[in-house]
Structure 1
Amino acid sequence: FQELTTEPRRYGFHGTLKAPFALQGGTTVDELVAACAAFAAESASFALQGLSVNRLGQFLALTPNAAEQDLSAFAATCVRRFEPFRKPLSESDLERRRKSGLTPDQEHKLVEWGYPYIFEDFRFHMTLSNKLENEKEAATLEAAARAHFQDLTDRPRQVESLGLYCEAERGAPFLVHTIFPLTGTQTPDQSLSKCRGSK
């Protein structure tokens, strides 16, 4: 299955909360790390009903079994909280994202926030495969993934940490920079995940 999992192996096993970004001029990695640490120290851990192996378009991924409002709210908070560190996308990056076909609202999110699938369009996923265009291969990999993750899926989970990943250069493997335990008392604000908002 290695040829079917090259991209997720480059990204590492994680679920994206804020899309990858280059640092805005005038900001530093140390400042971003400090901001992540402060956010994690404020934020309380929270529960998920569970994850399972599912098709996500033509990809295979671990996704929630049901709507997870706390998770969506936590992701929306991450998008907003770390936005000051994000360098605006280049025109080529904007055009690359637009090729997938965006709604007017997603276009607004892309321009304003650097990624179209946030807030109401956010769907948590831990990618397990490349794009699968062969149904036989997709079905075989899906069955293998379900067997591999059977001891971890379809049961409650606790979100207890936030990770900061880095990419030495575009196309390089993602590396774990720091894992921040969620040690605070502030629960996710669910209202943040239901509006596209402005900066």
Structure 2
Amino acid sequence: MRAAIYWAPRIDDPLHRLGSQWLGRDTETGATLAQPTLPGLDIAEITRDARGYGLHATVKPPFRIATSWAALREDAMALALRTRPFALPPLQVAEHHGFLALLETERSPELQAFADACVAGLDAHRVPPTETEIARRRPERLTERQRENLHRWGYHYVFEDWWFHVTLSRRLNDAEMEVVRPAVTAFLGEAPSLPRRVTELCLFTQAGPGAPFLLAERLPLLG
């Protein structure tokens, strides 16, 4: 089993319903959802990888548990208890390294601090990556800092190299981008830009390799 710390929209947030429909799966219930259609493209294929991970933004990347689920949950709950809720900047559909994703319209120091605290504060529960897993990240193509992050924290995009993003597609070519970007922008409507606060730390789990991620528990921020 793997665990991950994610941000996910609250269950009553319109973005939860619309984003889950776009990806074709609700991580809260595990239910398969009917997706909208794309002219000339297979939306199920376009969103396949993102659907497996579910509607989310990564806070602490997926990891195998070195301790126990109970111990991880206890420390995650303690972190949530000392973290105050904070405003999330409005989101927008944008191109991100060839993918489509929801990105912040402005950087949030509170969000960065939250992600940093989750990465470092819960790291005792992470099994270090194997040499094969490290090699899969192509460390020769990373910066020196990213290589250090990969070996120390199990992932290269953490701390200064982390960014908030909610993945909505696989990597797209120019022709696909011309179809998918306006389609997802129209489908989500004003939901991404609505005012919202980060009020929960979301624990996700993956039962085994290739299994879909599910939202195991929402821990309220009570600091």
Normalized against structure 1, the TM-score is what?
0.87
Instruction: Give yes or no for the alignment of 1:143 onto 2:182.
Output: yes
- Match in the other structure for 1:168: 207
Measured in 2, the distance between the counterparts of 1:78 and 1:55 equals: 26
1:120 equivalent in alignment to 2:173: no
> What corresponds to 1:8 in structure 2?
50
Number of the residue aligned with 1:190: none
Structure 2 residue 118 is matched with structure 1 residue 67: no
Q: Which runs of 5+ in 1 are unaligned?
A: 185-199
Alignment of 1:18-167 (within 5 A): 18-24=60-66, 27-98=67-138, 101-132=141-172, 134-167=173-206
* Maintained 8 Å contact 1:49/1:155: no
Secondary structure of 1:18's aligned partner: strand
The CA distance in 2 between the partners of 1:43 and 1:68, in whole Å, is 15
Q: Relative to 1, partners in 2 of residues 1:183 and 1:72: Cα closer, same or farther, differing over 3 Å?
A: same
Residues 107-160 of structure 1: CA distance to partner in whole angstroms, max 9, x if unpaired? 00000011111111111101001121x212122111111112222123432111
Cα pair distance change 1:125/1:86, threshold 3 Å: same
Q: How much does 1:99 deviate?
A: 5.7
In structure 1, the residue corresponding to 2:163 is in which secondary structure? coil
TM-score, normalising length from structure 2? 0.78
Taking the aligned partners of 2:193 and 2:65, their CA distance within structure 1 comes to: 37
Q: What is the CA deviation profile of residues 144-184 of structure 1, one whole-angstrom value per residue up to 9, with x for unaligned ones? A: 11112222123432111111111111111001111111111
Aligned mates of 1:135, 1:145 — CA distance in 2: 15
Gaps of at least 5 residues in structure 2 are 1-42
Looking at secondary structure, tell me which structure has more strand per residue: 2
The percentage of aligned residue pairs carrying the same residue is 39
Could you tell me which amino acid in structure 2 is paired with residue 118 of structure 1? V
SS in 1 for 2:145: helix
Residues in 2 aligned to 1:17 and 1:72: alpha-carbon distance in whole angstroms? 9
RMSD across aligned C-alpha pairs, in angstroms?
1.2
* Contact 1:53/1:61 (<8 A) preserved: yes
